[in-house]
Amino acid sequence: MCGRYALTLPQDAMVQVFAAAPANDLPEGPRYNVCPTTQVPVVRAGGERRALVPMRWGLIPHWYKTPTDGPLLFNARAETVAEKPAFRAACRERRCLIPASGFYEWTKTEDGTRLPWYFKPVEGDVLAFAGIWQDWGPERAPTCAIITCAAGPTMSEVHHREPVTLAEADWPLWLGEVEGKAAPLMRAAPEGRLARHRVGRAVNSNRAEGPELIEPLIDEDDV
């Protein structure tokens, strides 16, 4: 799964990397502890140019009368995203990229203590999560979810799921800018795309913020 991530790339850098026109109301950064239900920058296909826009992380199906009418859908499984009623139309018609600098996952000790890990790109400053989106409610508020898949070699020792991260060459296909089947893109990161290191337990709180959250753990007493 992917339930927490960081985004430290400045807005002008995201605009350049994704060749996207920015909205005026993008959430401010940097952010080192992005949580579900918050507004996040998302790249979607536009007319002549991609758009970088804010969306609520947590897709809300059209039949929800309130955002809390059912489960919080911040992830969608690659194996079933094309079939589940909450996701299938978005997977077919409204795919997006969700920029991140890295993401967190946890292991547990025998006594249940949660130990956080930080995953980041081996090369470059940004990851592009495969996402889907749809509008909800009378105000047509945009909402999104991150696609996850079975863990690959870098991730599997920490967790059995991971967010789908897309190489730049695959962005046009995922966004529907070129013809082709996008389903084969929903796979684990190849070996060499992601690096990982342990970080301090401060990030276990969803209220924590600051660059120290992604720093490699030095104090072994924090285990």
Sole residue written with tokens 């990030």: 203
Which domains are present in the chain? 5-104+124-189 (3.90.1680.10)
Q: With 70 as the cut, is the pLDDT of residue 131 above it?
A: yes
Residue 83 among the catalytic residues: no
Mean pLDDT value across the chain: 94
pTM metric for this prediction:
0.95
Report CA 49 to chain centroid distance, whole Å: 22
Catalytic residue among 35, 91, 96, 105: 105
d(CA 182, CA 148): 14
Amino acid identity of residue 137, one-letter, is G
Q: Over the stretch 147-195, which tens digit does the pLDDT of each residue have?
A: 999 999 889 999 999 999 999 999 999 999 999 999 999 999 999 999 9
Mean pLDDT of 57-69: 96
Residue 110: pLDDT band (50, 70, 90) is confident
Residue count (the chain):
223
Q: With 60 as the cut, is the pLDDT of residue 222 above it?
A: no
Q: pLDDT at position 218, please?
A: 77
Q: pLDDT at position 223, please?
A: 46
Residue 105 among the catalytic residues: yes
Q: pLDDT at position 46, please?
A: 86
